[in-house]
A = this chain, B = another copy of it.
Amino acid sequence: MSERGDMAEPLVHGDDFEDPVIEAAEASHDEDDRLKPEYLTAVLDAVEDGDSEKARDLVSPLHPADIADLLELAPSERRADIAAALGDLVGAEVLSELNDYVRDDLIGALAPEQVAEFASELDTDDAVAIIEDLEEADQQAVLEAMEPEDRAAIESALAHPEESAGRLMQRDLVAVPEHMTVGQVIDYLRDSGDLTRDFWEIFVVDEGHRPIGTCQLSWILTCPRGVPMSDLMKREQTLIPVDMDQEEVALRFQKYALISAAVVDSSGRLVGMITVDDIVHIISQEAGEDILRLSGAGEGDINEPVLDSYRARVRWLLTNLLTALVASTIIGIFEGTIQQMVALATLMPIVAGVGGNAGSQTMAVTVRALATNQITGSNARRTILREIRVAVLNGATVAIVLGIGVSLVFQNMALGGVIAAAMVTNIITAGLAGASVPLAFDRMNLDPAVASSIFVTMITDSMGFFAFLGLATAAGLTG
């Protein structure tokens, strides 16, 4: 039964427990469940020495997800050799667990027939994940090498837009009419043999194959055989339209604590099922990608080819260069004042920098709240007001500390007053911009994480320099 074998974790802290599986896990994994460097080195050495058998012995106790980790952790130029040495240990499940970039590399080295064979072993959604990233021609070759039935399933999934429910769903599911009883359902399941082995609920459909209810397996197992499905099923259920974006799907799974959900086409017919194990990756990815977008890091994957990372990031840095010019121009206006008192040049980055930081804080909070649907038209104004309140408190505190410090160090009360006033102005501006810029982008249906930070930084930099140098000029400060 190793084909569905999850692996035991290193878990027992007492020493009254001896289990070869756990001991193997301790040899390969550290306490955080990551593969140990020594272990990886041992595998790499075995492969390098041409000792495939030793490599396979080392790797065979691993869960497919760990074999995928092993390939990702290995240097990219060694991965093909390792995969070759491990042979069928690198199977369909390992491929489906691999990072996209690493998988594309490995698959590039395989014959279409091999890819087709792997894909056939997987659920539609996992097979699609492997095939969708291939070049058009390779995709065609793989599809042609597949059994007609599998090919049809995958082609129909590929017909849906990328990152839509249609790509995520599997087509194997259990649907029964409502007149069936619990006993009949159990008999049907036993007779049908090779249904999909892993499913968590049974969908009840009408004659038009439209879902009218759903039934968890635990309800079926705890009910007498005679109960009709129509009495047992829950009529209200969250249905996922086949064209729904995966981010939305993930939010529904989270909000309604779903384990699986029916996918319906535009006429309401049941066409597939999405299970939560395919969603947890998306939840993590969607929640984690805001941090990458806010910083302009693109995909932000450590396995991404260097040139792709360069292209994504340099675009952002060049945009940033343009916005930095705005701040620079503002400083230029006050060159005369700086000439009279060079200390201003020394102090001005503090006002801009701390303001920028305050803006980042507010922006991070707002972007997260938007991503989790916590802000709507109902509380947008309240959220901005709240952020301004926090900014007033922050601004006052930082301004007092900075103002007193500067007054003392430079023995110049006026300079201390000017920098304090500029600081409080800039932190309040930062709070306002940090909350309202992402909200404005969201209202325009643009991703607030992608463009906000460029604007907020430009605003806090410019306001920092303008307020400080402008007030210094107005106060007639001279060294």
Contacts and interface: CB of A to CB of B under 8 A. Distances in A.
Given A9-B252, A296-B361, A338-B338, A291 B218 contact: no
B302 A328 contact: no
Interface string A328-352: 1001100100110011011111101
A59 to B, nearest CB: 15
A92 to B, nearest CB: 14
Residue of A189, A193, A332, A379 with highest tally of chain B CB at under 10 A: A379
B198 A218 contact: yes
Nearest to A449: B291
B254 A280 contact: yes
Contacts of A354: 317, 320-321, 324
A90 interface: no
Contacts of A5: 234-236
A12 interface: yes
Interface in A307-328: 307, 309-310, 313-314, 316-318, 320-321, 324-325, 327-328
A316 B254 contact: no
A241 interface: yes
A45 B297 CA distance: 45
Contacts of A193: 222
Interface string A266-310: 111000000011011101110110111011110011100011011
A309 B390 contact: yes
Copies of this chain, how many? 2
A145 interface: no
Given A248-B33, A259-B200, A14 B349 contact: no
Interface stretch (A48-56, A112-120, A150-158, A395-403): A395-403
A1 interface: yes
Interface in A121-171: none
Given A297-B361, A342-B339, A221 B65 contact: no
A398 B218 contact: no
Contacts of A316: 357, 361
Interface stretch (A81-89, A103-111, A381-389): A381-389
A69 B254 CA distance: 13
10 contacts: A6-B237, A30-B376, A37-B376, A190-B222, A302-B365, A310-B393, A314-B394, A324-B353, A331-B345, A335-B345
Contacts of A398: 314, 317-318, 321
Contacts of A345: 331, 335, 338, 342, 345, 348
